[in-house]
Amino acid sequence: MPDQSYVPHPVDVSQVSLEGLQPLLEGLARNAHEIWAQQRLRDGWTYGAHRDDVKRTHPGLVPYENLSESEKEYDRVMVNETLKAILALGYRIVKSE
């Protein structure tokens, strides 16, 4: 039974800007999809037009560029929030030359 008193308290990222990090965000979103797909395939899932947990088919088992914009946006949101949390926690992101 879930704990009804649990209230999530994520890191406050309201003041964090990701200006200039768009290429990183997109690259990490693509990578997040690749990691997810790799694990699904390892677990015996295959591509299917509709998600079916019994048959282990999923329409998202396609290359990132073939995902719908809404599916890409799901990956982007997760990465976006992670990058903001990294910065809010005092870390810096610097691209090596």
pLDDT tens-digit readout, 73-89: 999 999 999 999 999 99
Would you list the DSSP string of 3-54?
-TT--------TT---TT-HHHHHHHHHHHHHHHHHHHHHTT-EE-SS-BTT
pTM of the complete model: 0.86
pLDDT tens-digit readout, 7-65: 999 999 999 999 999 999 999 999 999 999 999 999 999 999 999 999 999 999 999 99
For residue 58, what is the enclosing H or E element? strand 57-58
Residues 6+ apart with CB under 8 A from 47: 57, 58, 59, 61, 62
Statement: residue 1 has pLDDT above 80: no
How much is the pLDDT for 97?
A: 80
- Give me the residue spans of the domains in the chain: 22-88
How much is the pLDDT for 87?
A: 97
CATH topology of domain 22-88: Globin-like (1.10.490)
